[in-house]
């Protein structure tokens, strides 16, 4: 739903109705700007519900009274969902939009019934039957629900988004040092750029991928074809304009949405993930990157070893900042015993080398939603002493790099 909102939500003061608005695991209301007049509708009273329906198939609103209709995880619970679509058409204004999300897979969950799973052809059929136009449709491969997302319009003006759009991101202004000098501690046996240089030499990649480019210091180590992703690189970045580098100025989520495994530039031998320093972002980046790796490929994650608890804060308050990337590494170690994980004692904030990759693995995809809920529930956890002390990290010698990368 966030993607629908970011890409298609009209600007200014608009009226939105949410069908199935009960706040169970969060509310779409939280995604919407303050300029929106939001009306939450459901079958029963509860958190997030403004209007309780007496008739499932008769919405108590005048014709053409809403700019946008939201429906998330509701259609499968409607025995005659096609009647709901007729009502959506009726209450939408001319050129109004409907954002509809329904599962294509997953276990039975009766609220109070669970009748259907949906596939792309069903959305096109619903559009044709109801009088709406299907603008765009995609299937989320993350389980267990593998949601089918549809953007519908009561009109002909809207065109589908077919490429990443510019996004607002944080400024590149340098973070001021923390008032406590100990917070800015830097540890490590060797600088991480030296270690990355050695990994390039050992692996000799034909294709290199980097998520999070900044000034391009690590990207400059690649002597092969390279793909670089960053929505907000530093103004000093120049290497991204060279012929060997395919630079994409967008978020990694958008990059993989539009440039997935089927139309990627080539299988990747070495990938370096240094993007958004939050565990859930790194989790998604690794999931997407693993799928496009060549057999024997290696993924390297930066910032897995904070030197001070404040460096591991989810909100940046220090120059040396890892965010909670360390939590991703902990989860990966528990969830993927098939991988070889090697923590390296590099400066300033450690590296994680991941080998024995399995591009066909569904281990992180099939239960993605519940895993993300657990990750969110643990947000704000402090890094344990063994992480701060780098107990599990090895010295980044050539011998250890060979072992970590399988060379």
Q: List, run by run, the mean pLDDT of 10-residue segments along the chain (407 residues).
A: 94 96 86 94 92 94 98 94 96 98 95 94 96 97 97 96 79 79 97 98 97 93 94 78 84 91 76 97 98 96 98 96 98 97 99 98 96 94 98 98 97
Cβ count near 12 (within 10 Å): 8
Q: Which of 39, 64, 67 is nearest to 53 (CA)?
A: 39
**Model pLDDT for residues 343-399, shown as the tens digit of each residue:** 999 999 999 999 999 999 999 999 999 999 999 999 999 999 999 999 999 999 999
> Which are the contacts of 92, defined by CB distance < 8 A and separation ≥ 6?
64, 66, 67, 69, 98, 132, 154
Closest CA to 21 of 1, 35, 4: 1
The architecture CATH gives domain 182-405? 3-Layer(aba) Sandwich (3.40)
* Buried residues in 59-73 as b, exposed as e (16+ CB within 10 A): bebeeeebbbbbbbb
In sequence order, the β-bridge partners of residue 99 are 70, 151
The pLDDT value given to residue 204: 97
Where does the chain hold its CATH 3.40.50.150 domain(s)?
A: 2-153, 182-405
Structural contact between residues 85 and 132, judged by C-beta atoms closer than 8 angstroms: yes
Q: What pLDDT does residue 234 have?
A: 83
pLDDT of residue 241: 60
pLDDT of amino acid 102: 97
What's the topology of domain 2-153? Answer: Rossmann fold (3.40.50)
CB 369 within 8 A of CB 144: yes
């Amino acid at each position: 739903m966030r993607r629908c909102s970011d890409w298609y939500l009209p600007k200014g003061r608009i009226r939105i109705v949410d069908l199935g608005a009960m706040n169970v695991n969060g509310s779409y209301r939280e995604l919407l700007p303050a300029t929106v007049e939001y009306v939450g509708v459901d079958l029963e009273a509860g958190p997030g519900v403004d209007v309780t329906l007496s008739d499932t198939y008769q919405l108590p609103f005048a014709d053409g009274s809403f700019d946008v209709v939201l429906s998330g995880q509701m259609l499968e619970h409607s025995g005659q969902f096609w009647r709901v679509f007729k009502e959506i058409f009726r209450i939408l204004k001319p050129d109004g939009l409907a954002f509809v999300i329904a599962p294509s897979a997953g276990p039975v969950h009766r609220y109070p019934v669970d009748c259907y799973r949906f596939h792309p052809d069903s959305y096109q059929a619903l559009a044709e039957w109801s009088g709406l136009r299907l603008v765009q449709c995609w299937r989320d491969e993350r389980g267990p629900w593998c949601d089918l997302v549809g953007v519908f319009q009561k009109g002909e003006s809207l065109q589908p988004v077919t490429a990443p759009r510019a996004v607002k991101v944080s400024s590149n202004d340098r973070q001021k040092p923390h008032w406590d000098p100990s917070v800015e501690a830097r540890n490590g046996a060797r600088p991480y750029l030296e270690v990355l240089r050695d990994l390039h030499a050992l692996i000799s990649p034909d294709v290199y991928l980097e998520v999070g480019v900044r000034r391009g210091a690590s990207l400059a180590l690649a002597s092969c074809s390279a793909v670089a992703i960053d929505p907000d690189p530093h103004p000093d970045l120049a290497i991204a304009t060279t012929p060997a580098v395919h630079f994409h100025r967008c978020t990694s989520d958008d990059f993989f949405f539009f440039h997935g495994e089927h139309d990627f530039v080539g299988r990747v031998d070495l990938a370096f993930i240094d993007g958004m320093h939050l565990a859930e972002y790194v989790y998604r980046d690794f999931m997407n990157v693993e799928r496009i790796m060549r057999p024997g490929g290696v993924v390297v994650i930066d910032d897995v070893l904070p030197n001070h608890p404040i460096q591991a804060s989810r909100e940046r308050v220090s120059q040396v900042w890892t965010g909670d990337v360390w939590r991703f590494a902990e989860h990966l170690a528990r969830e993927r015993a098939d991988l070889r994980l090697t923590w390296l004692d590099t400066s300033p904030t450690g590296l994680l080398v991941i080998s024995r990759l399995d591009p066909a693995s569904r281990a992180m995809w099939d239960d993605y939603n519940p895993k993300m809920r657990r990750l969110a529930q643990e947000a704000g956890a402090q890094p344990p002493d063994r992480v701060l002390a780098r107990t599990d990290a090895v010295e980044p010698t050539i011998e250890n790099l060979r072992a970590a990368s399988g060379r």
